[in-house]
Structure 1
Amino acid sequence: MSSIHHPCPPRACDYEARKNFRAGGRGLEIETATLRVEETTRRKKMKKSDDIDGGEEKGIWLTWKDVWVTASNTTGRKKKKENINNANGSRRKTILGGLSGYAKPGQLLAIMGPSGCGKSTLLDTLAGRLRSNTRQAGEILINGHKKALAYGTSAYVTQDVTLLTTLTVGEAVYYSAQLQLPDTMSKEQKRERAEFTMREMGLQDAINTRIGGWGFKGISGGQKRRVSICIEILTRPRLLFLDEPTSGLDSAASYYVMSRIASLDRKDGIQRTIIASIHQPSTEVFQLFDNLCLLSSGRTVFFGPASAASEFFASNGFPCPALQNPSDHFLKTINKDFDDNQDIELGLAGTQRKPTEEAIEILVKSYKSSDLNRQVQAEVAALCTQGNGMVEKKKKRGHASFHTQCIVLTKRSFVNMRRDVGYYWLRLVIYVGVALGLATVFYDLGMSEGSIKDRAALLAFVSSFITFMTIGGFPSFVEDMKVFQRERLNGHYGVTAYVIGNTLSSIPYLLLVSLIPGAIAYYLPGLQKTVEHFIFFCSVLFSCLMLVESLMMIVASIVPNFLMGIITGAGLQGIMILAGGFFRLPNDLPRIFWKYPLHFVAFHRYAYQGLFKNEYEGLRIAGKSGEYILRSIWQVNMSYSKWVDLAILLGIIVVYRVMFFSIIKAIEKLCS
């Protein structure tokens, strides 16, 4: 893709390096022959997995012609150049204005421009990821057709690196391989594909290193970026989109990441069409580009071979100074954010200067009338009419079955929860401390008159505070949701598989969190000591914990900011605790809102009633029967058993999980 020489990864260069540096005639020949056999065997394995995964497919020619994108103008600005009228007379902001271009197999197209010029919007438009508040016009064709691509044919690497920080590099890529690759491939073939892909991106030395996050150091930012790319190219996509792949990286890391991307074709022979939006590449990175699309305020300033950009700017009076990075010069010339403080030098001597806005107009008009633009239009027209055929449809491609997805997601989530201290372990320590405090304060309640109130206070505190503390795991929920949203957008698996996997993996930890603190808080104060009563107590506690986790998943899907999510979750639980029927008895609650409907919606009502029935039924305290205490003092509904209360709690869990599923589906529909 580029004539620049890049150092090969250790595994790729193994053959040449060992051939050149090992001495000894006959020994060298034997070693060389052995290495050739190893390399041939490895490539045969990859070829076999390719055949199972769908075989050879045609390259992808992507073309776009006269593409416009507008969005609702929420800022209230009235600048004519930023707005157009639609059929209803309302004003909308123009983000992209009549862009045309193409991307060919085996080439890297870079989309460049200053901040806010429309780079990411153009990338999202070509990838079909525009938001629901935008409107698109124009023609985007794939191999001369408007048909959708089959699964695994294209991939999108987002700007934000969203990975499960507790996994190692090898685990992250292998779990993704199990989720994305079809069941017709064996586990060994999937592992081989994962290892080969990691070698492609130069990650072979970091396979057993954790990705890392808060609390522990892991791999570098550049390596995380390459892991993200690895995950998305497991299906061997012919069309690869990358949004700011060098964002947040230093120049060395940026070059290494981009050189790996540019050299993908040389590693596996797949003619990929690669489109990347990039902000400010170094000179070395710029030399990796085959074609360049330069934007300013949503308009094309230049489109063509990256090597011809400097000549184009020079011919219009904006030559790149000697020893200066060309990309820096281009962006400085077309960046009008600081137009009041700078003018652009004209000519080599720099004796004439023009405002940036005027420089942009010169370049835009010059490009429209240039041979470059005519070549682009002719190329687009030729690619649209020649009809290179459509990429093979899903009959030759597919992802893992629903059953496999559920198993893999359960395993991955279980490992993540086990390693993430903030998910359950920190809460378990806090719960044990709180349970010891409860056992100390309520130790040996006895059967006095005062124990009637004390027992209820203990049970209400357990079911309220311990479940309330579930919001402590909300940051981990949010990180999980970010990974889920990225993988869901790229079609790795469905919402149902995620909900099932998350639910099954959390059950062992919730049981542990329920049993250990529950035993301390139950037996030391002297509550009913039969096994049946203790099992019911822990069952209610377990149900409440899972129920609140389900509620926080709903909050995380709507409020991705973890601080706002914690506030929202705490507020919802606080309101439900007030309406639960302990701090204010059911008959004393205001009828409007608090009793109808909130008292019957709040899960605390059923937790309180179930725990109270479990404790007071069969007891006689200070001459009062347990049934009398429940009816007259705590106003508990005795028309059904405690097991019905438990069943209602389990039913609310199902309702919350279904709500989470429905919200995710609704958000997807709105964003599509």
Structure 2
Amino acid sequence: MGEGNGTAWAGALSPAARYAETGGASLTWENLTAVLPGSGGRPTKKLLQGLYGYAVPGRIVAIMGPSGSGKSTLLDSLSGRLARNVLQTGKVLLNGKKRRLDFGAVILTRPRLLFLDEPTSGLDSASAFSVIETLRTLAIDGGRTIVSSVHQPSSEVFALFDDLCLLSSGESVYFGDAKLAPQFFAETGFPCPSRRNPSDHFLRCVNSDFDDVATALKGSMKLRAEADLDPLLKYSTTEIRERLVDKYRISDYAMMVRNTIHEISKIEGVMEEAVKGSQATWCKQLRTLTKRSYINMYRDFGYYRLRIIIYVLMAICLGTIYYDVGNGYTAIQARASCGGFVSGFMTFMSIGGFPSFIEEMKVFSLERQNGHYGVAAYIISNFLSSMPFLLTMSWASASITYWMVKFRPGFSYFAFFALNLYGGVSVIESLMMIISALVPNFLMGLILGAGVIGIMMLTSGFFRLLPELPKIFWKYPVSYIVYGSWGLKGAYKNDLLGLEFEPMTPGGEKLTGEFIITNMMGLSVSYSKWLDLAMIFILLLAYRITFFFVLKVKEAAAPYLRVAYTRFTVKRLERRASFRESLAMTSLSKRHNAPHPMAMQEGLNSPMQQY
């Protein structure tokens, strides 16, 4: 390294000394490699190749590189967010101690360590500078450790970074003090021109997209003389990148990084315990989640507002078809059919909210990894925020249908009709939330949901009377654990009890609603309709509790499933001679002389092993 590099920390604390003084969260990574296994005959792809680095309190580490260089992959590796089909080797240490990559809950619940993926993306220069300046204040004044990827910062923004990690094709081009980076490039033969932004120059050296520009400049007679003097135009980007990578690997800059990692590892730090829940109180979590969820539901036209319009249109169609059915003999079948459609098909339309549920579950999974809130707070807030929309949907459509069909007059009967519809819709919403948690695929989830709701409709007592259902399985227990049978029984009792209908033959005895329910529909009238309604809301509670346990079991089982998947993948890959050879070459370093099988390397973890 050039003269004066040995005193790079003169006048300032070294990273290790800063860590020892502040006692914050340090992060080191050694020989970090991420591999994407090939499948279907495709070759194995190395996403990261033997990276070394560190992050200490009070300093910002900027990860730079062209698109596809591995910036996001490195961030995912450090924070434990790699995709499950990516294998990771090497050591990632927090405060000098090995962890199971469970930083997610630490990041936002105890923000000593922050990972940021291109926080200035889409901002103008002034806004980007303001963001990074705020981060720098957080780092210095708050003693926080910040690791951030950045695409192409301005010179003002670049000057705010303390350490630079420059990547290209998954390899380290440079890691160290950002102020020393221009000196390294100059020593390698690619000095930064005085009027050029250093970050632009670094990316110019490792971005192959500039090869076309270099070819055009070489073909220009006017600029050919200047091109001959520019070292960046003498070599291809691949040649420049190889020279930089090779030079850095044997340079004092790389040695300084390894020495710093060693010094940090020797300092006994306070172990950061992952916070399993948010520091906010449960009530605050519930209020915040309910408000946010309500705003999202209101702003998303397709979430509820479009469905409310469809329900109203469907109610108008239903009301015009069954308009003023009366009390004739044929009205018995008409009333039963209308009630069956409302209890069955109108609740079935709640399946339209499944796409929104899928997107919501993605957000929930990410925020649960960060430990923002508890599962119970999320489920209750989802129920509370959706209640106004579901009530509007149910009461609006019930008002139209009930008065156009002229069901049994009286507000209490109408209120039961509307609550019965609301309960059925809410149960289906809960069911679809369970399915979205189990099957996070739009098409498969939609098919599964439609199938389950179809079974609920078949056992409701409309298509075949409940007493005639096969007793094994279909009647006991299926008809008792689905909403359809309870909803339909309550609807029949609410409308028919107390009414009289014309007989099938003139002059015969009028048919009472009790006779119709008991003899023609095979239902019991020995208990109140309100018990049927109560059973729907008990099922709603049971479905929500089931949703809670599905999410908890899924969280608990996920690490074990991912570990099993990783072990299976490793064993499969170790049968390939080419993979073993490439892995052995990657594991060679100054500190590790003898290669050994991947499965035995220290630090091999499932990439999604977080909790």
| TM > 0.5 fold call | yes
Q: How far off is 1:386 after superposition?
A: 2.4
- One-letter amino acid matched to 1:112: M
Distance 1:331 1:638, change over 3 A: farther
Alignment deviations for residues 547-571 of structure 1 (CA, whole Å, 9 cap, x no partner): 1221232344456677886677566
Q: How far off is 1:544 after superposition?
A: 0.9
Q: Which position in structure 2 is the counterpart of 1:661?
A: 548
Q: How far off is 1:367 after superposition?
A: 1.1
Distance 1:305 1:125, change over 3 A: same
Q: Which moved more, 1:61-70 or 1:139-148?
A: 139-148
The structure 1 residue matched to 2:161, chosen from 256, 281, 289, is: 289
Distance 1:352 1:476, change over 3 A: closer
Q: Which moved more, 1:637-646 or 1:335-344?
A: 335-344
Among all aligned residue pairs of Structure 1 and Structure 2, give the percentage whose two residues are the same amino acid. Answer: 48
Q: Which position in structure 1 is the counterpart of 2:326?
A: 446
Instruction: Tell me how many residue pairs correspond in the alignment.
Output: 523
Q: Which runs of 5+ in 1 are unaligned?
A: 1-55, 84-92, 156-231
The structure 1 residue matched to 2:246, chosen from 332, 356, 365, is: 365
Alignment deviations for residues 348-373 of structure 1 (CA, whole Å, 9 cap, x no partner): 43597444444333222211100100
- The DSSP-based 3-state class of the residue aligned with 2:98 is coil
- The DSSP-based 3-state class of the residue aligned with 2:57 is coil
- One-letter amino acid matched to 1:238: R
Q: How far off is 1:404 after superposition?
A: 4.4
- One-letter amino acid matched to 1:362: R
Structure 2 Cα separation of the partners of residues 328 and 563 of structure 1: 44
Q: How far off is 1:545 after superposition?
A: 1.5
Instruction: Please say if residues 153 and 239 of structure 1, whose CA atoms lie closer than 8 Å, have aligned partners that are also in contact.
Output: no
Q: How far off is 1:506 after superposition?
A: 3.4
Q: Does residue 94 of structure 1 match 2:46?
A: yes
- The DSSP-based 3-state class of the residue aligned with 1:665 is helix
Q: Which position in structure 2 is the counterpart of 1:126?
A: 78
Q: Which position in structure 2 is the counterpart of 1:245?
A: 119
Q: Which moved more, 1:106-115 or 1:131-140?
A: 131-140
Structure 2 Cα separation of the partners of residues 590 and 323 of structure 1: 85
- The DSSP-based 3-state class of the residue aligned with 2:261 is helix
- One-letter amino acid matched to 2:395: L
Q: How does 1:412-431 map to 2 (within 5 A)?
A: 412-414=292-294, 423-431=303-311
Q: How far off is 1:291 after superposition?
A: 0.9
Q: Which position in structure 2 is the counterpart of 1:63?
A: 28
Structure 1 Cα separation of the partners of residues 120 and 453 of structure 2: 42
The structure with the larger Rg is 2
- The DSSP-based 3-state class of the residue aligned with 2:23 is coil
Q: Which position in structure 2 is the counterpart of 1:23?
A: none
Distance 1:357 1:606, change over 3 A: farther
Q: Which position in structure 2 is the counterpart of 1:229?
A: none
Q: Does residue 116 of structure 1 match 2:68?
A: yes
Instruction: Please say if residues 79 and 104 of structure 2, whose CA atoms lie closer than 8 Å, have aligned partners that are also in contact.
Output: no
Structure 1 Cα separation of the partners of residues 41 and 517 of structure 2: 61
Distance 1:398 1:417, change over 3 A: closer
Q: How does 1:238-637 map to 2 (within 5 A)?
A: 238-265=112-139, 269-320=141-192, 323-335=195-207, 348-350=229-231, 353-390=234-271, 399-410=279-290, 412-414=292-294, 423-474=303-354, 477-478=357-358, 480-530=360-410, 532-557=412-437, 573=453, 576-577=456-457, 580-582=460-462, 603-623=483-503, 624-626=511-513, 629-630=516-517, 634=521
Q: How far off is 1:664 after superposition?
A: 2.9
Distance 1:635 1:321, change over 3 A: farther
Structure 1 Cα separation of the partners of residues 393 and 497 of structure 2: 26
Q: How far off is 1:573 after superposition?
A: 4.2
Alignment deviations for residues 474-495 of structure 1 (CA, whole Å, 9 cap, x no partner): 5654554454334322212111
Structural RMSD (CA) = 4.3
Structure 2 Cα separation of the partners of residues 509 and 129 of structure 1: 35
Q: Which position in structure 2 is the counterpart of 1:28?
A: none
- The DSSP-based 3-state class of the residue aligned with 1:279 is coil
- The DSSP-based 3-state class of the residue aligned with 2:91 is strand
- One-letter amino acid matched to 1:271: G
Instruction: Please say if residues 58 and 391 of structure 1, whose CA atoms lie closer than 8 Å, have aligned partners that are also in contact.
Output: no
Structure 1 Cα separation of the partners of residues 471 and 446 of structure 2: 29
Structure 1 Cα separation of the partners of residues 213 and 447 of structure 2: 43
Alignment deviations for residues 235-262 of structure 1 (CA, whole Å, 9 cap, x no partner): 6722211012123444444333333323
Distance 1:410 1:114, change over 3 A: same
Q: Which moved more, 1:359-368 or 1:626-635?
A: 626-635
- Whose relative contact order is higher, 1 or 2, with alpha carbons under 8 Å and at least 6 apart? 2
